[in-house]
Chain A
Amino acid sequence: MFSYTFQWNQALNRLPAMLDGAWVTMQIAVLSMVLGILFAIVLTGCRLSGNRILSGFATTWIEVARNTPALFQIYMAHFGVASFGLYFSPITSLLIGITFNNAGYLAENFRGALKAIPDTQTRAARSLGLTPIKAFGYVILPQMLRISFLPITNQMVWAVLMTSLGVTVGMNTDLYGVTQDLNALTFRTFELFALAAVIFYVIVKLINFGARLLAARLFRY
């Protein structure tokens, strides 16, 4: 049935363009993670604040981010908000969508990490005279980030893979978008997407390797 001759050089010829795409993918993923972690910390803070409005806001965000498809979130960040007159470029929409998703998942990871830190630590910090904010920032937060380090790398991997959803909002500069463009041009679907898969795999392996090196340096006791 499968009578097709693979012409790998047709895909390898396009490798430079695809590597440029991979670089864009990395940039989006890293930026969305940095922003995602910041927002997740804010969301965690909102949840802990005891203020009903703030924690309601955080809960809504986390619920939507975790329980709807990332594709929906990215699509909404482009076509959805445009119905209200807010125009974002494809790359911005993608970044907003992934950041929103990252923040939701990471906030949930942080909640798990917080559960692993004994209450007594906050109490001890407070009894030393630290304000609630300082107790959180100096005592709890560093431990929370340490415990959730591996889930964070996991989310980073997910962020890289989620960039491939950008094509639905008109991205054509990321790895998947570039591949899709080349596919339209040449119809060498299998070769091009196989190559893209290899590049994705290598990126993810590099992230995992980098995370391990970083963990070894950061978490020496």
Chain B
Amino acid sequence: MKKSVVLGGLMAATCIASAASADMLDDIISSGTLRCAVVLDFPPMGMRDASNNPVGFDVDYCNDLAAALGVKAEIVETAFPERIPALMAGRVDVGVASTSDTLERAKTVGFSIPYYSFENAVVGNEKAGMKTWEDMKGKTVGATAGTYEAIWIEGKIKEWGEGQFRPYQTQADVFLALSQGQIDATVATVEVSEANVKSGNFPGIAIVDKAPMVPDYVALFTMRQEYGLINYLDLFVNQQVRTGRYAELYKKWVGEGVPADLTVKGVSR
């Protein structure tokens, strides 16, 4: 008696589960809303304007994606470390959150082809008197926890065997600490560094050098098993470049110049 009840319950649960998880692409289209995880603490990719509305490259990118799907876009503000929980818990459908597509992470989530690429800069407190990136050796260096550049500099510091690494939860905290002199330097994307140095919110900091790391390709991400959606995202990224929208968004949010090449020479994907 009891066993059959449990069995029946299980069967019912599986039926509901299998019906609900048809395909995420279908789910998005039928729900009429695309929910994107966007980090709004990462200018110019994601930030808030004077009237507190989310704006930025990633926000526009999400809006474009929603328009292509014919649905409404919903920007879900997500901190860097919370991107994955937000996705897994079903609070968002897609991450448009400047997420570096490392192999380690690709074991957990599904990445599209890269939609943007960052170069990183070393920003120093003027009092630290740094000239090149190698002057970071032995210094206290901070970065935003969970970012590609944080992983890189932490590795470098371990390799050098001297100096200290400090991860902060938000980009703003890193620059606050840098401006206060709590840390001597940080590694951040050129875009973020230039925006923060120019803003004047953080006195006493200056860009020192480029960080000699592999370009930080960032990709859209979603559930790893959602091939239908990933396939769509790949094509969408391709179309953004093809139609010139990528260059347009670059000009709008980053500035004059040529946006980074999203292809890697000698290999295809």
Q: Which residues of A contact B (CB under 8 A)?
A: 1-4, 7, 10, 78-79, 82-83, 87, 90, 167-170, 172, 177, 180-181, 183-190
Number of interface residues of B (CB under 8 A): 34
Per the bound structure, the CA–CA distance linking A221 and B218 in Å amounts to 67
Give the complex CA separation of A3 and B81 in angstroms.
20
B 148-162 contacts with A by CB, 8 A: 150-151, 154
CB distance from B83 to the nearest CB of A (A): 8
Q: Check A79/B177 contact, CB under 8 A, given A2-B90, A3-B225, A183-B81.
A: yes
User: Which residues of chain B in 80-120 are interfacial with respect to chain A, using CB atoms and an 8 Å cutoff?
Assistant: 80-81, 84-85, 88-90, 104-105, 107-109
Contact B90 A188 (CB under 8 A): no
Whole-angstrom CA separation of A10 from B105 in the bound complex: 12
Asked if residues A186 and B173 are in contact (CB atoms below 8 Å), the reply is: no
Q: Which residue of B lies closest to A172 (CB)?
A: B167
Q: Are A187 and B142 in contact (CB under 8 A)?
A: no
Decide if A90 touches B145 in the complex (CB within 8 Å): no
Closest to B99 in A: A187
B123-151 CB contacts (< 8 Å) to partner A: 142, 145-147, 150-151
Q: Which residue of A lies closest to B151 (CB)?
A: A185
Residue B39 interfacial (CB < 8 Å) = no
Establish whether residues B181 and A184, one from each chain, have CB atoms under 8 Å apart when the complex forms.
Answer: no
A contact face: mostly helix, strand, loop, or mixed? helix
CB of B146 within 8 A of CB of A189, answer no
* Closest chain A residue, CB of each to CB of B169: A168
Residues of A within 8 A of B81 (CB): 180, 183-184
Q: Which of B109, B165, B167, B223 has the most CB of A within 10 A?
A: B167
Contact with A along B60-90 (1 / 0, CB 8 A): 0000000000000000000011001100111
A172 touches B165 (CB 8 A): yes
**Are B84 and A189 interface neighbours, CB within 8 A?**
yes
The chain A residue with its CB closest to the CB of B100 is: A184
- A186 lies within 8 A of B105 (CB): yes
Q: Is B166 an interface residue (CB 8 A)?
A: yes
Give chain A residues whose Cβ lies under 8 Å from the Cβ of B231: none
Residues of chain B within 8 A (CB-CB) of A168 are 168-169, 173
Given that A184-B81, A184-B151, A185-B104 are known contacts, is A172 also in contact with B181, CB under 8 Å in the complex?
no
B176, CB-defined interface residue at 8 Å: yes
| Further pairs besides A187-B108, A190-B88: 6, Cβ < 8 Å | A79-B176, A79-B180, A82-B182, A181-B154, A185-B151, A189-B85
Complexed CA–CA distance, A4 and B222 (Å): 12
Q: State the CA gap A2–B13 with chains docked (Å).
A: 13
Name the residue on B nearest A1 (C-beta). Answer: B90
Q: Kindly list chain A residues whose C-beta atoms are within 8 Å of the C-beta of B169.
A: 167-168
Which 3 residue pairs spanning A and B have beta carbons closest together?
A: A184-B146, A170-B166, A187-B108
Complex contacts, A90 vs chain B, CB 8 Å: 166
Min CB gap B144→A, angstroms: 9
Tell me the complex Cα distance, A188–B223, Å.
13
Chain A residues lying within 8 Å of B20, measured Cβ to Cβ, are 1
A167 lies within 8 A of B145 (CB): yes
